[in-house]
Structure 1
Amino acid sequence: MASVLSNYMEKEKLLKQLQEELQALEDNKELQQELEFKDRLTALMTEYDKASKDVCELLDPTYTASKSGKKATSKDDGRKKRTLKVYKNPHTGETVETRGGNHKVIQNWKAEFGSEEVANWVIDEKP
């Protein structure tokens, strides 16, 4: 019971501290200006039926959806494609092609034979 009470009291103390910090933020002039700007911008966007993406594209013509946090495809996110590695298990003769390290068969081999040994089983690498 004492641990539940002490936990409650600690949470109550943290809540009071957070409320004080929140109040200090609410009194901050800079925050008030940013909130006012956000409210006015949101009202304008609603008035003209525009989404945030539209506003970003209007202000920056080079803006793309991948910059907005949306998931981008490997073609347009600027990353290089991973190297295709071909592994051959010398014990079974089985071959596996993969571009990543999370392939189920490769993981099983690493668990059984060790990562260093399996790394030596790479017989081909293609870009």
Structure 2
Amino acid sequence: MSRLAEFRKLEQTLAAQLAELESMKNDAGLKKEIEFEQKLRSLLESYGFSLRHVVEILDPQAGSRRGPIATAVVKPARKARSVKIYKNPHNGELIETKGGNHKLLKEWKQQYGAGEVESWVAQ
């Protein structure tokens, strides 16, 4: 699209939005809402309250429904994995690991079978 075509398209969009804005400015319902908001804000200011205070008064449970931002959810600490010591009875090698993602342990499980290797755990 050429720059001129893009410019004309944006110009048309802007004109449509300006026309919509003018029609909204003449809307009686909108004028009532704006007047209400202004009066409400001035009333709150005169009493030293904010919109948040009003929400708390009208709906005390609103703060608890806000989600993770309002209240920090503390997850219980995960139990630390214990160290397992595997002793290969065929060659006497020892492996100390906290998980199953150990290269030599994987090789043993592939070679001897997972059930067999799990029986090599030394307590």
**Cα deviation per residue 1:103-126 (whole Å; 9 max; x = unaligned)?**
xxxxxxxxxxxxxxxxxxxxxxxx
Q: Distance in 1 between matches of 2:36 and 2:50?
A: 16
TM-score (norm 1): 0.52
Aligned pairs, number? 85
Equivalent position of 2:56 in the other structure: 57
Query: In the aligned structure 1, how far is the partner of 2:14 from the partner of 2:68?
Result: 34
User: Which residue is 2:70 aligned to?
Assistant: 72
Q: Which residue of 2 is the match for residue 44 of structure 1?
A: 43
Residue type at the aligned position of 1:89: N
Q: 1:46 to 1:75 in 2, by over 3 A?
A: same
Which consecutive residues of structure 2, in runs of 5 or more, have no partner in the other structure?
82-98, 106-123
Shift of 1:88: 4.1
After TM superposition, the structure 1 stretch with the greater mean CA deviation from structure 2, 2-11 or 45-54, is: 2-11
Give the superposition deviation at 1:90: 6.0
Q: CA-to-partner distance for each residue in 1:53-101, whole Å, 9 max, x for gaps?
A: 111112223331653x88233539xxxx6xx7x97436476xxxxxxxx
Question: RMSD value over aligned CA atoms?
Answer: 3.3
Return the letter of the residue paired with 1:51: S
User: Relative contact order, CA 8 A, sep 6+: which one is greater?
Assistant: 1
CA distance in 1, matches of 2:21, 2:73: 43
| 1:17 lines up with 2:29 in the alignment | no
